[in-house]
Chains A and B, each alone.
Chain A
Amino acid sequence: MELSKRYRNTVALDGLSMTVERGEVFGFLGPNGAGKTTAVKLLLGLARPTGGEAMVLGAPAGDRETRRQIGYLPELFRFQSWLTAREVLVLHCRLMQLPRPRWAGEVDEALQTVGLADRGDDKVGTFSKGMQQRLGLGVALLGEPVLVVLDEPTSALDPVGRHQVRTIIRGLRDRGATVFLNTHLLAEAEHVCDRVTIISKGRAVATGTLSELRAQRPTVRLQVTGLPGGWWQPLAGFGRWTEAGDWLLVEDMAPGQVPELVAAIVSLGGQVEAVVPEQQSLEERFLELLGES
């Protein structure tokens, strides 16, 4: 709550408050430098807040025992280049103190899930960036974590890899895990997230489901004939009107006002040929929110 982090003269987080529900895929969106990775590091205890506090799975952020239930894929990381992928996974099984009989199964499953089954015995140093990211994802999936924190998980992946990551994230949700997806790629969030928080300059500027975020200021496109002169005066209160060819555009409407608007047009003698609700894209809403903040 009211999480703050300051690095000398730079404010990375400025009173960030948000709640992630168990079992949801939560998108943490923001432009580069908004404070996303800093927030993740505070949640995992890799850095300490200069103000406020955070609870993760019911314990203070960074709690050692709680970290047993967390899988984490950092944004910028490397594994030991002199180990094989399989050895890296075994190392993390050890560090997680998983029972030894489970190691082989966990490692094989992780390699299979991230598409590295045939490269398990190759040295990490021979992997491309994308393959290292896949391995990082595999490491984050070890031990059936309750919470999986993914910091820009697809930044080095090709379209096939991105699709696989989405499938993995949906699989995690299906088995009841919570996924905290830190990304600046809006398409990624649109594909998999149940709810998102948009962060800008270290503060949460909007939180909700994607449709809630988009619908905050609905826009309607209308095709109307037969309206009398001066028609716009009684209708001005519905929103901001602009003409676009044969169409009228009503922006910034209050939610749920479309039937009322149609009734008002009809009462003025207009004939409504078409009503097309305009879905604001997440990107438009995102840019709007960033502009406002």
Chain B
Amino acid sequence: MSAVLTIASLTVREAVRRRLVAAFVLISVVLVGLSSWGFYKLSHGGFTSGESNAALPGALILFMFMFSFVLALSASAIAAPAVSGEIDSGVLLTMVARPIRRSDVLLGKWLGLTGLLAAYTVLVCGLLVAVVYWATGYVAPDPAAAAAYLLAEGVVLLTLVLLLSTRLPTLAAGVIGIALFGIAWLAGVVGSLGTVFKIGALHTASVFSQYLLPTDGLWRGTIYYLEPSWWVGQQLSAAPEAQGDPFIATSAPAWPYVAWAGVWLLLVLALGLVSFERREL
């Protein structure tokens, strides 16, 4: 375990020294700063309180959607070089010859990168909740649960890219990870369309995709905990086809699905450990 913690702390220290943490903080401040201005204008821009109240949940979900992409890109960018980059440069060669398991190295990296991603998510979500409340007085129903789902989405992608990084070059691992994330999101949209237009095949394909890569399924959890029930009711009564809106979730992810996402994460992590263990250096 001490080797895992050594590698995890090394991973975090690298992020600090290479100014990744500084970049995260800077991006967070810029993102939240701009959004606070937007939320303030939305709340004090001459709309009626009813109009601005109706717009706020949607605007918050839209911001979080943008941040989920930033988080996914960040997860992919930090995980892709974690193994393959260090194999190519020869950094890992000196470390794995020591009396440690290769799984210690991979678990340590996973732990360190997950910690960074968690800190980034907490920072952005925390700041956002604070500034939205300051600017508008609005608080989403369960921002902590929404942030947890968002983080889970990022960790799922991070774990997948880390697995890819044990076998593929850095660029390929990163690009494939992002592409799969985009495809999974699109499959979710397609599934929503399938629901609206009652095309069973599209809905089935979407469900299959959500089990294959649970990023979009978890993103639905983020949406659900950001939207007040009155707002969902308002949207659906105004336009019943809104149930196909990719930014509305009519229900929280079912617990078997959340459990599957956990199992998926463990399976992919285990696959990564086996893959790295068997990799010739």
Contact = CB atoms under 8 A, between A and B. Distances in A.
Contacts, number: 63
Nearest to B7: A95
Interface in B103-125: none
Interface residues of B, number: 21
A65 B91 CA distance: 21
Interface residues of A, number: 27
Interface stretch (B69-77, B94-102, B255-263): B94-102
Interface stretch (B10-18, B175-183, B200-208): B10-18
Nearest to A140: B94
Contacts of B91: 77-80
A67 B17 contact: no
B100 A64 contact: yes
A64 to B, nearest CB: 5
Contacts of B14: 80, 82
A79 B91 CA distance: 5
Nearest to A44: B97
Contacts of A136: 94
Contact of B2 (A44, A76, A92, A97): A97
Contact of B99 (A74, A80, A97): A97
Contacts of B10: 80, 91
Contact of B101 (A48, A64, A76, A79): A64
A46 interface: yes
A97 B1 CA distance: 11
Contact of A74 (B3, B18, B90): B90
A245 B144 CA distance: 96
Contacts of B237: none
A69 B41 CA distance: 66
B23 to A, nearest CB: 15
B199 interface: no
Contacts of A79: 91, 94
A139 B89 CA distance: 17
A91 B93 contact: no
A72 B100 CA distance: 14
Contacts of A92: 94, 98
29 contacts: A41-B280, A41-B281, A44-B97, A46-B93, A46-B96, A46-B280, A47-B281, A64-B99, A65-B99, A67-B97, A72-B97, A74-B90, A74-B94, A76-B90, A78-B89, A78-B90, A78-B91, A79-B91, A80-B14, A82-B14, A82-B18, A92-B94, A94-B6, A95-B3, A95-B95, A95-B99, A96-B98, A96-B99, A136-B94
